[in-house]
Amino acid sequence: MTLLDSAVPGSVPGFLADGQLQLLERSLSEAPDRHHLVCLHHHPVAIGCEWMAPIGLRNADALFAVLDQFVQVKAVLWGHVHQEFDQVRNGVRLLASPSTCIQFAPGSVDFKVDTLAPGYRWLRLHDDGRLETGVSRVVGMVFEADYGGTGY
């Protein structure tokens, strides 16, 4: 597992500095026989929310240029989008975790808060490279968000 820092001080979008990309390449090169999970905060792909496009990972192409060289990468996991996401790109599972606070409405053009309860993504990693995952939501708690807000 490699944890990457995509945060840019004072900025909402993310960026992987050269040192982070080198760390990833080194981690993958040094463990060619080990299955690998890559984690970062910002989303490296479009998730279907138009308003989130400009606040994702600004250099996702650089991330995928590294990932595409290594067959042992099984999944990439991120947060930031406050909603679940699960797709596959070139055999690599792309996963977003919902927020443990407010949720953003999937498929929205403009900022919109969803009514789903706070949640988290759980992972079960197997020795053979299989990954089981799901999303669990908080139950039995009254949670009220500001549905009229224009941002969080």
Domains of the chain: 2-98 (3.30.750.180)
Contact between residue 57 and residue 14 where contact means Cβ atoms under 8 Å apart: yes
Contact between residue 49 and residue 108 where contact means Cβ atoms under 8 Å apart: yes
- Supply the pLDDT for residue 91: 96
- Supply the pLDDT for residue 152: 59
Contact between residue 77 and residue 125 where contact means Cβ atoms under 8 Å apart: no
Task: List pLDDT tens digits, range 100-133.
Answer: 998 999 999 999 988 889 999 999 999 999 999 9
- Supply the pLDDT for residue 115: 86
Taking the C-alpha atoms of residue 118 and residue 121, their distance in angstroms, rounded to an integer, is 11
SS3 state at 126:
coil
Give percent of the chain with pLDDT exceeding 70: 94
- Supply the pLDDT for residue 52: 93
- Work out the average pLDDT over 6-13: 97
What is the value of pTM for the model shown? 0.92
Residue 80 exposed, middle or buried by CB count within 10 Å (0-12, 13-18, 19+): buried
- Supply the pLDDT for residue 140: 84
- Supply the pLDDT for residue 151: 67
Half-sphere exposure of 30 (CA within 13 A, CB side): 8
- Supply the pLDDT for residue 66: 99
